[in-house]
Structure 1
Amino acid sequence: VPGLLLATILFFSSGILIYEISLTRIFSVLMRYHFVFLTVSLSMCGLGVGGMITPFLRRKMSAYPKKDNNLLEISCIAAALTMPLSIVLIFLTPLKSFLTSITFIPLVPFIPFLCAGVFFSHLFEIFGNFSGKIYFADLAGAAIGCLLVIPILQLVGGLNATLAAGAFCLASCFLLGLMKKKRIFAICSMVFLFCTVLLSARSGYGSILGIASIKTKNAGFIKPLYQAVDNPVEMPRIIYSEWNAFAKTDVVEFPGINLKYIYTDGDVPSTMQYFNGDFSSISDLKQTVFYLPFYACEAKRVLSIGPGGGLDILVALLGGSKEVTGVEINRSIFSIMKRFSWFNGGLYDRPEVNVFLDDGRNFIRRSQDTYDIIYLALTQTATTQSGTFVLNEGYIHTVEAFRDYILHLNENGVLVFVTQDRNLLFRAILSTLSVLSKISPVDESRKHLLALAVSEEAFSTTPYRYALMVRKQPFSPALCSTILEKAQKQKFQPVYVPFIHESILEGRTFQEITRKLSRESGPAVNLAPCSDDSPFFLDLSFGIPGTLVR
């Protein structure tokens, strides 16, 4: 078997795998992940369809003997050119208005996979005697593509990675031209390859290929960022973007406010507060739910899981904490916080702040340290009403995770869970109760909990609406009175306060309390705690979410 043939297959397979994974990353920025896999899977059907139509193409071309030998070259270069072209068609032409159509959008990337299917089918037909070696080269190329796609995504981002995928396939075309001694085809492939590599190298993060705002009435399909930037009233704008193998991270600015929002993959924005180093200038943060645990304890050591823009870190420093630890999984957050240090006061670079690049759950399991406060914020959960976001896995909100957090509290330490949604607050209450009730009776376990909400007037102005505080030691009557008195001065409302406002958790057993909260939420809401085996904390339905069924 010719060595050039094996090299051709190796480069082509690498390009196909890079394109496939790049598509997954691109659509992950725009769509809920269920639709991402559906879209990519439908597109990849082109591989099978290409194999099916190859005999038909050969029969049609049999009347032209000279062209029959060109089917490999045609399918190879067609796949190479349509890879970046498919992304251009989707994002830089009027076709982007169809991004919300799950039946239409897969048809565009379907074409490169179709061409690839024709190429492989015809290849095995011609060189059937060497099928074992061809298959080995195919698998080796796919493996190399899987290894290379991570650094490619790191260097040029998801959209421009399709240019790199096209470049690999063009290299395959060049080698194919050399093998078949077709000089013009080889030269054309080399010219296209040079142009593609040049574009990919100079593209940066979306300067050539970018994602603009997307108009849609289907809020459950497109991520919030691309709906927000199309708002003609608030007129937000994306002022900085960074794309790596983990996620695309955007900084969004709204005119007239001292806040910036950091979106990770177009979802769940984190708040970056303006800070000039003077804590008196941010004293209004004492009116947020993040400051509530400082009424319960003197917090010298604080842990924030997923600090993002650093709002909870800023509140911890405002509360007098001397050692603040953050655990952030998105590498881009670090570079963004450094780039905007003029705005956030160099928050991550302060001597009392240490932020680690790690998964929060893994970090706390490995850690031997204990903390006075552990922050666990979950915001923008109104999107759970779409019915599609709910099936995102969340291993930091399971029963086992809550147990890990409680074990890493100091004797008077407090776990703080912040959310926007009342029903998720109830689920968090039941999750922590299920942990605590294994240590002590339910009547005693309830004394470890305290829940507050912002005033009704503040509901429309903040996503940080509810705070659940879980104390390692039971709250005393005196401490509850002190916390409630200070909280009410800031217009917070009691949801559950031991000894004072207990009606919502009435019941002698865990099951009775669950039924009580279920009556508060409604019969269609599932508040049962989530385990690591079923980590869908946001899914409050008893079956398949209604929107997915419809």
Structure 2
Amino acid sequence: MPLSPRHLLATALLSASAMCLEVALTRLLSLLYFPPYVFLALSLAIFGIGMGAALPALRKQLTHADRLAQYCLAAAASSLLLAILCCASLPLQMPALILAALTLPFLCVGLALSVLFSLHAAHSRLLYMGDLVGAGLGVVLVIPLLNRFGALDVMLVTALGFALAAYYLSARGGRMAVLAGLAVGAVIFGANVNYRFLHIDMTALAAEKPIVSALAAGGEIIETRWDAFARSDLLDPGDGGALRIYVDGGAASIMPEQASLAEHRRDIGFFPFATERPARVFIIGPGAGLDVYFALQGRARSITAVEVNGASVDMTRAMSSRNGAVYDQPNVTVLMDDGRGALRRSKEKYDLIFLSQVVSLAAERGGYALSENVVYTADAFADYLAHLTAGGQLALKLYDEATLTRALATAIEALRRQGKSDAQALEHLLAFLDERAENPVPLLMVGAQPYTRDDSLALGAIAREVGFSPLLLPHVLVQPPLDEVAIGAKTFAETIAAAEADYSPPTDDRPYFFQFERGIPSNLQPLALLIPLGALGLALLCISLWRSSRSLPRSLSPVYVALLGIGFIALEIYAIQQTRLFLGHPTWAVALALFTFLLGGGIGSGLSQVRLRATLSRFPAVPAVLAVVLALAWSALWALLSRELITASLFARLLVALASLLPLAL
């Protein structure tokens, strides 16, 4: 069957829409449940596409050109159904139903693509090029779409994309029906943008998120903003208290108000600002501005506040009449960036680097166990210490005893990298606890210089006077089991190794600050069973091919393809992790890595069809070997490039990352 441009265009539309839907679902499931559901969404999307691709092999009657438009329309309808289910209260309490519905549009996409490839097998590499290029463009488009419309409306946009693909694949006689479906989809999208008849009921979230209890207690959402980072809600608690901003239903950030100044000053986060009076302050994740208020009250001359969620800053500025315009004071500089990346690009040194909570409940913290958090790693602490003045301090407002212990371990590891022993490292640490809060809140302070006995006595006395309990004061109060570490009888590693939980310091290569289980996490153990099952299925497929062909290369071809796929995904993940701090925002890192690998894969597929076909037929292992060599070369080169060009403009950094990754992606 001849391949026409409309087939390539439809393939690209299917892939672009599927990629937009996949990314939108990662944002939506982070809101409805917790970030680890993102990985499940991605897995189910791939599973759905794989299952759809396998169906024509089981039922040959599915492989008909006149059914292609039907499959695309089914993808559009199931995307709309999924959006409706996400807005209904009952299904939200049944995540299995949501996850099952999630696979449907991807199953339809996999079915349509499989039939296209079957009907045009002679042009499979060109179709593959259209597939990957379309997916790459989808990654680029989804960011502005999310910033403009939000995750729910982007799902409706993807339904339109699937319907448009159906138009290009439909026979002439059926195009009017497809156009009618497109018109209905456009009306639904336009009506929802203007009238919001489809919206998320935040009181019906199944997850234990702070916004649910806040709304149940009489709170009211004043404003909602969606972007590629998260959904942000400005909420009035309804009890006369300060306004607060919730990011994806959690991580409540309090907005300072004149009526609540006395309460704000009793917050343990104010302690390092009030006692040390730092002149130059660097704040990571100020949210609704309370930490900036602390710095202003501490008479800081220069305040740099770095917030990755721009919606929080915009909402706070919009309410400047209530918060005293904390972000618009002449000595406050606000950066929309990743905090650690911005610090790396700064040549300044600071008297205080402050990090406050990003998760507000211990129960909610468990939902973030498998979420990467590169601001709480030993490598991050080393960056913070390197940017402190001679008498500067790092202060962390934490969540509970477990996170305090892990932060303590992380700080000791960072100090050990400076050549200090565990006993010497403890002299750089202070810890306090606010027991007046409903859930006691700890504060850890890390000094660039060791604290003297006089420092400990003075700060301990102030803490007790304002109602905080000292937990660690060098030379004054060192409680078991740290007392043995302080005298050199045991190392800190030996101390935490004896604990039931895992308190080992996270690193950039293992950035799971909230994961305290030893070994494979319990919520990953069921997924671990899929590895032997997948290996068994692959082995059975190889045996089946051997029996039918008696050809060893043909029977082992599934293993070759599977290993290529695993390597492709592994390189994507590695590239995202390595470029995140360099680019300054996780969204940019994900978008650039996915776009580059998909675009490069598409171009490489096209080249293999028209330029390198004879060579690759003779030496099929060449691409895999070349990929390994280029991956090793990129890893070595990237360490140098990222260090030397970290201070370049964002546009220049994007170009550098793209240019360095593209040869590997090809």
Output the TM-score relative to the length of structure 1: 0.86
Q: Distance in 2 between matches of 1:55 and 1:478?
A: 78
By how many angstroms is 1:202 displaced?
A: 5.3
**1:72-471 paired onto structure 2 within 5 Å:** 72-92=68-88, 94-99=90-95, 101=96, 104-177=97-170, 180-182=171-173, 185-201=174-190, 203-204=192-193, 207-213=196-202, 222=207, 224-225=209-210, 227-228=212-213, 231=216, 234-275=217-258, 282-294=261-273, 296-378=275-357, 380=359, 382-383=361-362, 387-437=366-416, 438-454=418-434, 456=435, 458-460=436-438, 465-471=441-447
User: Residues 157 and 205 of structure 1 are in contact (CA less than 8 Å); yes or no, is this contact kept in structure 2?
Assistant: no
1:518, CA displacement in angstroms?
7.0
Contact 1:80 1:166 in 2 (8 A): yes
CA gap of 1:54–1:442, structure 2 versus 1, over 3 A, is: closer
> 2:509 aligns to what?
533
| CA displacement at 1:110 relative to structure 2 | 2.1
SS in 2 for 1:70: helix
The CA deviation at 1:496 is 0.9
Change beyond 3 A, Cα 1:230–1:349: closer
> For the Cα contact (< 8 Å) 2:20–2:139, is it kept in 1?
yes
Q: After superposition, what is the alpha-carbon deviation per residue over 1:279-307, rounded to whole angstroms, capped at 9, x for unaligned?
A: xx614433221222245423111111111
State the 1:29 CA deviation: 1.8
For the structure 1 residues 300 and 82, does the alpha-carbon distance in structure 2 shift closer, same or farther, using more than 3 Å as the test?
same
Residue from 458, 472, 497 that aligns with 1:482: 458
Unaligned runs of 5+ in 1: 62-67
| Contact 1:261/1:269 (8 A) holds in 2 | yes
Secondary structure of residue in 2 paired with 1:32: coil
Contact 1:50–1:121, Cα closer than 8 Å, also in 2: yes
**Which residue of structure 2 lines up, in the alignment, with residue 506 of structure 1?**
483
Question: 1:273 aligns to what SS in structure 2?
Answer: coil
1:549–1:134 distance in 2 versus 1, CA, 3 Å: closer
Per the TM alignment, residue 214 of structure 1 is displaced from its structure 2 partner at its CA by 5.9
Aligned partners of 1:116, 1:201: CA distance in 2, in Å?
A: 24
Q: What are the Cα deviations for residues 323-353 of structure 1, in whole angstroms up to 9, with x where unaligned? A: 2111111121222112222332221111121
Q: Is the 1:32–1:389 contact (alpha carbons within 8 Å) kept by the matching residues of 2?
A: yes
Change in Cα spacing, 1:547 to 1:110, as seen in structure 2 (3 Å) is closer
Q: Render the CA deviation track for 1:130-151: whole Å, top value 9, x for unaligned.
A: 4333333222322222221111
Q: For residues 115-159 of structure 1, what are the alpha-carbon distances to aligned partners after superposition, in whole Å with 9 as ceiling and x for unaligned?
A: 223322332333334433333322232222222111111111111
Tell me the CA shift for residue 24 of structure 1: 1.9
Partners of 2:365 and 2:514 within 8 A in 1: no
Alpha-carbon deviation of 1:385? 7.6
Aligned length: 520
Q: Which amino acid aligns with 2:19?
A: L
**Between 305-314 and 281-290, the greater mean CA deviation after superposition:** 281-290
* Unaligned segments of structure 2, at least 5 residues: 527-666
**Other structure's SS at 1:106 match:** helix
Please state how far the C-alpha of 1:375 moved relative to its aligned partner: 0.6
Task: For 1:549 and 1:10, locate their aligned partners in 2 and report how far apart those are by CA, in whole Å.
Answer: 36
Offset from partner CA, 1:457-507 (integer Å, 9 cap, x none): x131x66x1111112222233332222222211111110112321234313
Task: Report if the CA contact (8 A) 1:330-1:357 is conserved.
Answer: yes
| Distance of 1:526 and 1:417 partners within structure 2 | 20
Partner of 2:24: 22
Alignment identity in percent?
28
Residues 523-532 or 122-131, more deviating: 122-131
| In structure 2, C-alpha distance between the alignment counterparts of 1:517 and 1:48, rounded to whole Å | 44
Q: 1:373 Cα deviation (Å)?
A: 1.3
Task: Give the letter for the 1:290 counterpart.
Answer: G
Cα offset, 1:548, TM superposition: 5.0
Distance 1:273 1:92 in 2: 35
User: 1:319 deviation in Å?
Assistant: 1.6
Structure 1 residues 393 and 135: alpha-carbon distance in aligned structure 2, compared to 1, 3 A threshold: closer
Give 2:584's aligned residue: none
1:151-173 deviations in Å (ceiling 9; x for gaps): 11111111110111111122222
Would the alpha carbon gap of residues 109 and 469 (structure 1) be closer, same or farther in structure 2, given more than 3 Å must change?
A: closer
SS at match of 2:93: helix
For each residue in 1:367-405, what CA deviation from the matched residue of structure 2 results, as whole angstroms up to 9, or x when unmatched?
111111111123546446874422221111111211221
Q: Distance in 2 between matches of 1:77 and 1:443?
A: 67
3-state secondary structure, aligned to 1:238: strand
More helix by share: 2
Displacement of 1:317 after TM fit? 0.9
Which moved further from structure 2: 142-151 or 438-447?
Answer: 438-447
* Distance of aligned partners of 1:517 and 1:56 in 2 relative to their CA distance in 1, 3 Å threshold: closer
Distance 2:304 2:489 in 1: 34
Per-residue CA deviations over 1:508-545 (Å, capped at 9, x if unaligned) read 338444555677xxx31222222222211222222234
Cα distance in 1 between the residues matched to 2:425 and 2:17: 57
Question: Any conservation in 1 of the 2:281–2:351 contact (CA below 8 Å)?
Answer: yes
| Residue 44 of structure 1, CA deviation | 3.9
Provide the rounded CA distance (Å) in 2 between the counterparts of 1:382 and 1:11: 42
TM-score by length of structure 2 reads 0.72
